[in-house]
Amino acid sequence: MQHFRSVLAAVAAIATLALLAGCVVNPVTGRSELSLVSEAEERKIGAEQYVPSQQGQGGTYQVDPELTAYVSQVGKRLAAVSDRKFNYEFVVLNNGVPNAWALPGGKIAVNRGLLYELNNEAELAAVLGHEVSHAAIGHGAQAMTRGTLMQGAMVLGAVAVAANDKTSRYSDFVLGGAMLGAQLVTMNHGRDAEREADQYGIEYMVRAGYDPHAAISLQETFVALFEDKKSGWMEGLFASHPPSQERVDNNRKQVEALMPSLQGRDLEVGEARFRQAIARLNKTKPAYKAFDEAEKAIAKKDYQMALTKLDSAIKQVPEEARFHGLKGDILVYQQHYNDALASYNEAIKHDGNYYDYYLGRGVAHARLNQTVLARQDLERSTKLLPTAMAMNELGKLALTDGNRVDAKRYFQQASLAKGLVGQEATAAFARLDVQDNPAIYAQAEVYADKRGRVLAKVSNRSPVAMRAVEVQFQVLINGQIQQRRVALPALAPNTYADVISGLAFPEGAVWTADMMAVQVVAVGL
Ligand SMILES: [Zn+2]
């Protein structure tokens, strides 16, 4: 119901916007287009969604801040020559899945996993130039104008954190305002937008002094990887950016056409500089491979193997918070909560800005009945990224405190997610709400059978089992109102049962529907 209302509100809002919005000239392509998202809104969306989108995609890569500075420097060189002046920002994410994305307003991210596959700075510039172009042209805002994003968010209610390089331990679902960013960074822009981003990306590379041939070699690498169906790529970059020979050919045509005008210009490839920038990344690759293997072992519930792999990863790169965080997760699975706390503390010591460590530590505290610390950590995790898991845990804590109002609010938010957490929260919410509003969940319909006996069909429309559903019958017999209270001992979720009132119309009497009524008077759980 609430969903329908939201959708209606959104439709009304868009209709209003459509009246207000006019055609605008795209500052990059020069095309006239309808836009429901103003440039100020693009900046606002980018600024608001940047942090939660980073959180949902693995958090920032902290181990090598110089690498982020380097990527940012290359990105800013392209941004400076782009056709739209935003406050562009670039970040490297701690995510092994090869991917890159841009939010409206020029907020851009590259995954660690993509950098392994690049050969030189010009190829990095091709990746970043493409993303700068998406932002400059406003492809995200265009998708929002088409309405493909928000409607999806309304209907789903929660968005799975996709392309995250960790097994979804908590089947994390992003809730609330962060849903928009989660959709924007995982969306497929479509073929035309990709062609456009390639085209202007090459343009910006040339303006910034990079050799545009790298845009061809980059696409060739992608096509080769695509044909290999190498895991990671399919759910990462290729999900939003399907490579094709067509893209290779388009880029080649454009570069060949540009070349005569570039005669005598010193176009940079920057291979040595790039090699140096990613030296540490390459050196630590075996540790991240061990981490990936630990995740696969967790998926098979082989926790001992996972711990062995993680300890090896930690030995190689002890300052990588993610390794300690995953170790904490395994220790939670094994119900070694105090050891889990130690691992999460170590993770937070190295990276105090990733929601997942606070979520894990909050759960460990909760299992140890350390409710104050649990709440503090869980609230902190939801500030960084609102997830169904954290909301569900906060709901349980509120219930322990006897705060039913807060508990219901938390459970209701968590119930929007799919999966086990969503189901658990739905049941927990219903358990509370059935007590508050029994008439919504337990319904009774009165009827009389051929012999004049008055019965009720009593249904349980909740996902929780009901005990002792009590109904009150009122029947007009021979001009007199007769009442009867009947209790049904148990009613399973989403089922119904017939209840005999014990009242009946006399033989031969004529009765009508308005001569009988039934009402649910009490529901026990
Ligand atoms: Zn793209």
Which runs of consecutive H residues, i.e. helices, occur in 242-302? 245-258, 271-277, 279-283, 285-299
Distance in Å, CA 194 to ligand 1 centroid: 5
pLDDT at 373: 98
- The CA 198 to ligand 1 mean position distance, Å, reads 8
Mean pLDDT for the stretch of residues 159-188: 60
- What are φ and ψ of residue 250, in 5° steps? -60, -45
Residue 114 CA to ligand 1 centre (angstroms):
14
Q: How far is the CA of 189 from the centre of ligand 1 (A)?
A: 7
How distant is the alpha carbon of residue 464 from its chain centre? 27
Give how far Cα 205 sits from Cα of 63, 102, 108, 275, 392, Å: 29, 17, 16, 19, 47
Centroid of ligand 1 to alpha carbon of 66 (angstroms): 26
- CA separation for the pair 336, 329 (Å, rounded): 10
CA of 240 to the centre of ligand 1 (A): 7
Question: What's the CATH fold of domain 438-524?
Answer: Immunoglobulin-like (2.60.40)
**How far is residue 328's CA from residue 338's CA, in Å, rounded to a whole number?**
10
C-alpha 36 to ligand 1 mean position (Å): 21
The one-letter amino acid code at 500 reads I
Centre of ligand 1 from the C-alpha of residue 282, in Å: 25
Q: Are strands 100-103 and 32-34 parallel, antiparallel or unpaired?
A: unpaired
399, 375 contact by CB (below 8 A): no
Q: How far is the CA of 292 from the centre of ligand 1 (A)?
A: 26
Better pLDDT: 144 or 482: 482
Question: For residue 153, what pLDDT band results from cuts at 50, 70 and 90?
Answer: very low
Give the pair of three-digit tokens for residue 48: 């608001």
- CA–centroid distance, residue 111 to ligand 1 (Å): 14
* Kind plus residue range of the DSSP H or E element containing 410: helix 404-414
If you measure from the C-alpha of residue 44 to the centroid of ligand 1, how many angstroms do you get, rounded to a whole number? Answer: 21
What is the Å distance from ligand 1's center to 187 Cα? 9
> Residue 171: its pLDDT value, please?
37
Which parts of 128-246 are beta strand (E)? 159-160, 173-174
Nearest-CA neighbor of 39 among 136, 178, 134? 136
Q: Residue 494 carries which side chain, given as an amino acid letter?
A: N
In the reported structure, the alpha carbon of residue 241 is separated from the centroid of ligand 1 by a whole-number distance in angstroms of: 5
Q: What is the pLDDT of residue 12?
A: 52
* Distance (Å, whole) CA 217 – CA 348: 40
Distance 376 CA to ligand 1 centre (A): 39
In the predicted structure, residue 11 carries a pLDDT above the cut 70: no
- Measured in angstroms, how far is the CA atom of residue 146 from the centroid of ligand 1? 18
| 297 Cα to the center of ligand 1, angstroms | 33
Q: 489 Cβ partners below 8 Å, 6+ apart?
A: 467, 468
| Distance in angstroms (rounded) separating the CA atoms of residues 246 and 239 | 17
What does pTM read for this prediction? 0.82
> Rounded to the nearest whole angstrom, what is the distance from the C-alpha of residue 123 to the centroid of ligand 1?
15
Q: How far is the CA of 127 from the centre of ligand 1 (A)?
A: 9
Q: What is the pLDDT of residues 340-378, one digit of tens each?
A: 999 999 999 999 999 999 999 999 999 999 999 999 999
Q: Ligand 1 mean position to 2 CA, how many Å?
A: 34
- Cα 363 to averaged position of ligand 1 atoms, centre (Å): 37
Ligand 1 mean position, distance from CA 6 (Å): 30
Average pLDDT (158-181) is 54
252: tokens are: 């080649």
The answer, yes or no, to whether residue 157 has pLDDT greater than 70, is no
DSSP 294-334: HHHHHHTT-HHHHHHHHHHHHHH-TT-HHHHHHHHHHHHHT
How close is the Cα of 130 to the center of ligand 1, in Å? Answer: 6
- The pLDDT of 143-165, averaged and rounded, is 53
User: Strand, helix or coil at 99?
Assistant: coil
Backbone φ and ψ for 441, nearest 5 degrees, come out as -100, -35
404 vs 419: CA distance, rounded Å: 24
- Residues 232-273 pLDDT 10s: 666 667 776 777 888 899 999 999 999 999 888 889 999 999
Cα–Cα dist 248/377, whole Å: 48
Tokens coding 128: 């970043």
- Across residues 76-100, what is the average pLDDT? 95
What dotted CATH number matches 285-436?
A: 1.25.40.10
Per-residue b/e over 147-164, b at no fewer than 16 CB within 10 Å? eebbeebbebbbbbbbbb
What spacing in Å lies between the alpha carbon of 226 and ligand 1's midpoint? 15
Instruction: Give me ligand 1 centre to Cα 474, in Å.
Output: 67
| Sheet of strand 480-491: strand arrangement | 480-491, 466-477, 516-524
Q: Are 269 and 118 in contact (CB under 8 A)?
A: no
What is the per-residue pLDDT for 503? 96
Q: What's the 295 CA to ligand 1 centre distance in angstroms?
A: 28
Using alpha carbons, select from 360, 398, 399, 359 the residue that is nearest to residue 379.
Answer: 359
Q: Report the Cα 507 to chain-centroid distance in Å.
A: 64
Q: How many CB atoms lie within 10 A of CB 1?
A: 5
For the chain, what's the residue count?
A: 525
CA of 52 to the centre of ligand 1 (A): 20
- Residue 29 Cα to ligand 1 middle (Å): 16
The secondary structure element, H or E, covering residue 130 is helix 121-137
Domain extent listing, the chain: 2-281, 285-436, 438-524
Confidence at residue 234, expressed as pLDDT on a 0 to 100 scale: 65
Give me the pLDDT at residue 149, please: 59
